[in-house]
Amino acid sequence: MALTQMALDSLDFDATVALATTVAPHVDILEIGTPCIKHNGIKLLETLRAKFPNNKILVDLKTADAGFYEAEPFYKAGADIVTVLGISDMGTIKGVIDAANKYGKKAQIDLINVADKAAVTKAAAAAGAHIIGVHTGLDQQAAGQTPFADLALVAALNLGVEISVAGGVKAATAKQVKDAGATIIVAGAAIYGAADPAAAAAEITAIVHA
């Protein structure tokens, strides 16, 4: 079954916990977004881990170096998934995979800004990556880009790894993303920007779980 992931992209600690409280019953995975984890640190992960035992938690570290060293404390503190940049050295990617395996968790390789996405996906899968993250970042979205072509390319490789898709996904596009091969469908702005975030999350999850 495909899963939904909600990206918590606020910088504010209390607002993040409050939004997670609203949304957690309606999504599978809570994501602590990159600006959020940089601003608030591992204490926020510890807080969310304690409050939401029924959700998986992804920490979007987007690690670029020192993979094992940077990722290990987050797995130890309860992260289920940690991200590493696909543009990093394979030693860095392998370090995050090794840290994930040490704790029985998952490493996600983020393809943001990767030039040869097929080559990096194949190399990461061969190195034991659990999840490939097809990702059109917020700045790329502002320039009009979408993740759909990259998703088609990665899904066509048929490597047997999980595929997460992020980049402006909303209720209107969630089915398209799932049908194209995504196993984790990420939504940030479509949920936190909605008038009723709980309802928006529930709507997307109903589509993804259908």
Ligand X SMILES: O=C(CO)[C@H](O)[C@H](O)COP(=O)(O)O
Helix (H, G, I), strand (E, B) or coil at 4: strand
Q: What is d(CA 21, CA 65) in angstroms, rounded to the nearest whole number?
A: 33
Q: Should residue 188 be labelled a site residue for ligand X when binding is judged by CB under 6 A?
A: yes
Burial of 192 per CB tally in 10 Å (0-12, 13-18, 19+): buried
Among 32, 33, 44, 161, interactor with ligand X by CB under 6 A = 33
Minimum distance from residue 29 beta carbon to ligand X (Å) = 12
- Asked if 154 is part of the footprint of ligand X (rule: CB under 6 A), the reply reads no
Between 34 and 121, name the residue whose CB sits nearer to ligand X.
34
The pairing of strands 162-166 and 56-63 is unpaired
Stretch that binds ligand X, among 69-77, 98-106, 136-144, 171-179 (CB under 6 A): 136-144
Asked if 194 touches ligand X (CB under 6 A), the answer is no
- Residue from 167, 182, 202, 203 that binds ligand X (CB under 6 A)? 167
Structure-token match 């899904």, residue found: 155
How far is residue 45's CA from residue 38's CA, in Å, rounded to a whole number? Answer: 11
The answer to whether residue 70 forms part of the interface with ligand X (CB under 6 A) is no
Minimum distance of ligand X from residue 175's CB (angstroms): 16
Per CB under 6 A, residues contacting ligand X are: 7, 9, 33-34, 60, 137-138, 141, 166-169, 186-190
